[in-house]
Amino acid sequence: MMDMDLELNESEMHLYSRQILLDGWDLEAQEKLKLANILIVGCGGIGCTTAELLARAGVGKISLIDADIIEISNLQRQIAYVEPDIGFYKAEILAKRLQQINPFIQVEHYTSRLDQQNAQMLISQQDLVLDGCDNFATRYLVNQTCTHAQTPLISASAIGFQGQLFMVEGDSACYECLFPKGQQQNESLRCADSGVLATTPNVIASLQAHHALLYLGLGRTPLKQKLLLWDGLTMKQRILAFEKDQDCTNCQLSHTANAD
């Protein structure tokens, strides 16, 4: 948690008034948001919307990491960017936008890739990590680092007309339990190669941000060890429970590391 004033000032009270008035969400929940640190991995279609919603909601410190620059094809779905932003780093432009949206929060950005050298440093200090990246290598690294650091993770993905979402928290099943590494090496399953409808990542991002608010403000974990599947063609949503894989290499290594 951040070292900052717990109490909301008058301007913040006005800004968040519709949340504070909500049944089931009170001043205490809003103050918990103000003190929260989160890391958003990937500033693309999912990361843009998740970051903006959480900034507007009042999450106190948001860190962004993405090494990509903005291209014209991004503008179809990545709502933080406009044509003059083309050629600039996504993380830098998104950070500026978040600060304009909410001057009461802190925003940090990194224009490098999440890798073995920086993952532990970035993730271990967070209250929650939100993954919306578009490649398996980074997803497995985020999952591995979060489970070893005991940092909660909400993972989201979107492709074509479909999206999925789930949470890793505490000693729960992890991403690798659900998607064993040996079965997920097809990197061609990305928006750049397979296409994506403009709305798909934004629907999933809204659900990811919503879950993040439930967790940070109320301590709720509705998708812990549950996989939410959303189908944009039929407008159907399913939630499937799954168990921890006793043979999961990542969970075994994490258990050993945390026992030492």
The pLDDT of residue 2 is above 50? no
Per-residue pLDDT, averaged over 130-156, amounts to 96
Q: Which residues of 184-211 are buried (b: 16+ CB within 10 A; e: fewer)?
A: beeeeebbeeeebbeebbbbbbebbbbb
The pLDDT of residue 109 is above 50? yes
Higher pLDDT, residue 1 or 131: 131
Per-residue pLDDT, averaged over 67-74, amounts to 98
| pLDDT value at residue 5 | 66
> What does the angle CA 5 – CA 8 – CA 11 come to, to the nearest 5 degrees?
130
pLDDT tens, residue by residue, 214-233: 999 999 999 999 999 999 99
Per-residue pLDDT, averaged over 233-253, amounts to 94
The pLDDT of residue 6 is above 90? no
Task: Tell me the domain boundaries of the chain.
Answer: 17-256
| pLDDT value at residue 192 | 60
pTM of structure: 0.94
Per-residue pLDDT, averaged over 13-35, amounts to 96
Q: Mention every residue, 6+ apart, whose C-beta is less than 8 A from residue 207.
A: 156, 163, 165, 228, 230
Name the percent of the chain lying above pLDDT 70: 92
CATH numeric code, 17-256: 3.40.50.720
